[in-house]
């Protein structure tokens, strides 16, 4: 088969690669489209791969073309995505349902062959069937949708509350949609970009507040009749937005940290004291898994993608490249400021 093979740092080539074979309990998928994840970029551009040569890619949509012995979950012709994490399922964390905390895991597209190829073979348990009416360009967003779902579901989410979502990026917009699906009193989104705020309203946010605007905090509190937000989701990962999460929180609020940190955090004493005074519950979230593996996050994402209540948007996609132009696609990451959304590699 053809694949985008990573031979060394900055050396990714469209080349012949051994076609993977199904084994008992595995599923062979003809890949339609793959997303380039932020985590793939250092693998290609900064010597970040576990070994060479390797075929990366872990956010994908495709069709089952062959199933191994004993497979019952999917059949040939099903449209599927793959949950990329392959937990050991026997360690204490796995048994307890702490799937993302398993340290004996494998990962499709970083420790074993991924989806930047014509075919990928994955364990049956990792295959997630979805309705064929869902476009592949939506299905490549399964993973971020499950990350957002996991954060919302694990944050002791109750409907009927004021919800603050900080950051209107892809994850933030999925958080908005889950909050809408699970029910809320009012969803308010915070971002520094008015266009993203307008987009968030299109996804069901009731209000958008530019956090750089004059008196943002008073305005934000006013939208809750002064109470603050019982549910706060941080989906950026910066010092400023973490502080915002504390400021926006109501007394005893649940503050969910979903954004991947990319900043050093420092608080003044009064800022730190907000956590004590309001008796906040801060929780971090990582990936989108639970039991039964890969979890309700994936099953619900499939369900709500099919009903249309959960959507990806053309604005989530920066650009599409044929798989044969994977090198050009990765070169684009040398100027990340020019990239707005996910870059897709598409099989013709």
**What does the binding site for Zn ion look like in residue numbers (CB under 5 A)?**
37, 87-88, 91, 94, 102, 104
| Residues 176 and 188: beta-carbon distance below 8 Å | no
Smallest separation (angstroms) from Zn ion to the CB of 34:
10
| Per-residue CA distances from 150 to 108, 206, 277 (Å) | 20, 22, 27
Smallest separation (angstroms) from Zn ion to the CB of 278:
33
For Zn ion, the closer of residues 205 and 329 by Cβ is 329
For Zn ion, the closer of residues 20 and 57 by Cβ is 57
For Zn ion, the closer of residues 48 and 278 by Cβ is 48
Smallest separation (angstroms) from Zn ion to the CB of 48:
13
Q: How far apart are the C-alpha atoms of 215 and 68, rounded to whole Å?
A: 60
For Zn ion, the closer of residues 75 and 262 by Cβ is 262
* DSSP letter, residue 203: T
The pairing of beta strand 249-257 with beta strand 281-284: parallel
Q: How far apart are the C-alpha atoms of 240 and 238, rounded to whole Å?
A: 5
For Zn ion, the closer of residues 104 and 262 by Cβ is 104
Smallest separation (angstroms) from Zn ion to the CB of 241:
21
Tell me how far apart the 2 most distant CA atoms of the chain are, in Å. Answer: 63
Smallest separation (angstroms) from Zn ion to the CB of 99:
8
| Residues 123 and 293: beta-carbon distance below 8 Å | no
> Coil, helix or strand for 277?
helix
H/E segment holding residue 11: strand 11-16
Smallest separation (angstroms) from Zn ion to the CB of 145:
12
Smallest separation (angstroms) from Zn ion to the CB of 210:
29
For Zn ion, the closer of residues 150 and 254 by Cβ is 150
Q: How far apart are the C-alpha atoms of 128 and 115, rounded to whole Å?
A: 15
**Cα torsion for 172, 294, 55, 60, to the nearest 10°?**
-50
Helix residue ranges, H only, the chain: 40-45, 92-95, 136-139, 142-154, 170-182, 194-202, 216-222, 239-248, 269-277, 296-307, 326-331
- Encoding tokens for residue 111? 């420790």
Smallest separation (angstroms) from Zn ion to the CB of 219:
35
> Coil, helix or strand for 124?
helix
> Coil, helix or strand for 8?
strand
For Zn ion, the closer of residues 185 and 319 by Cβ is 319
Nearest CA-CA partner of 149 in 305, 297, 308: 297
Smallest separation (angstroms) from Zn ion to the CB of 90:
6
CB neighbours of residue 104 within 10 Å: 12
For Zn ion, the closer of residues 41 and 253 by Cβ is 41
| Residues 297 and 289: beta-carbon distance below 8 Å | yes
């Amino acid at each position: 088969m053809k694949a985008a093979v990573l031979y060394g740092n900055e050396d990714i080539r469209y080349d012949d690669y051994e076609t993977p074979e199904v084994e008992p309990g595995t599923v062979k998928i003809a890949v339609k489209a793959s997303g380039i994840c932020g985590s793939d970029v250092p693998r290609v551009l900064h010597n970040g791969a576990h070994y060479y040569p390797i075929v990366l890619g872990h956010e994908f949509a495709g069709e089952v073309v062959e199933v191994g012995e004993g497979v019952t979950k999917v059949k040939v012709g099903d449209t599927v995505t793959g949950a990329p994490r392959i937990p050991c399922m026997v360690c204490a964390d796995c048994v307890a349902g702490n799937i993302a905390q398993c340290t004996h895991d494998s990962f499709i597209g970083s420790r074993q062959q991924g989806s930047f190829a014509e075919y990928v073979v994955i364990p049956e348990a990792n295959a997630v069937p979805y309705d064929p009416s869902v476009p592949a360009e939506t299905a490549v967003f399964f993973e971020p949708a499950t990350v957002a779902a996991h954060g919302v579901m694990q944050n002791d989410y109750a409907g009927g509350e004021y919800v603050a979502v900080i950051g209107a990026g892809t994850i933030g917009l999925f958080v908005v949609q889950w909050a809408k699906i699970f029910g809320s009193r009012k969803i308010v989104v915070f971002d520094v970009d008015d266009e993203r705020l307008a987009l968030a309203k299109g996804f069901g946010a009731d209000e958008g507040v530019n956090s750089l605007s004059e008196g943002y905090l008073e305005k934000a509190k006013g939208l809750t009749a002064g109470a603050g937000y019982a549910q706060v989701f941080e989906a950026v990962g910066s010092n400023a937005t973490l502080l915002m999460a504390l400021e926006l929180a109501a007394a005893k609020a649940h503050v969910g940290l979903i954004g991947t940190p990319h900043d050093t955090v420092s608080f003044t004493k009064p800022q730190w004291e907000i956590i004590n005074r309001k008796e906040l519950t801060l929780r971090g979230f990582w990936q989108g898994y639970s039991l039964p593996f890969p979890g309700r996050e994936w099953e619900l994402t499939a369900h709500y993608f099919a009903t249309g209540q959960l959507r990806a948007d053309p604005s989530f996609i920066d650009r599409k490249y044929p798989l044969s132009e994977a090198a050009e696609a990765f070169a684009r990451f040398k100027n990340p400021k020019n990239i707005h959304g996910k870059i897709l590699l598409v099989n013709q």
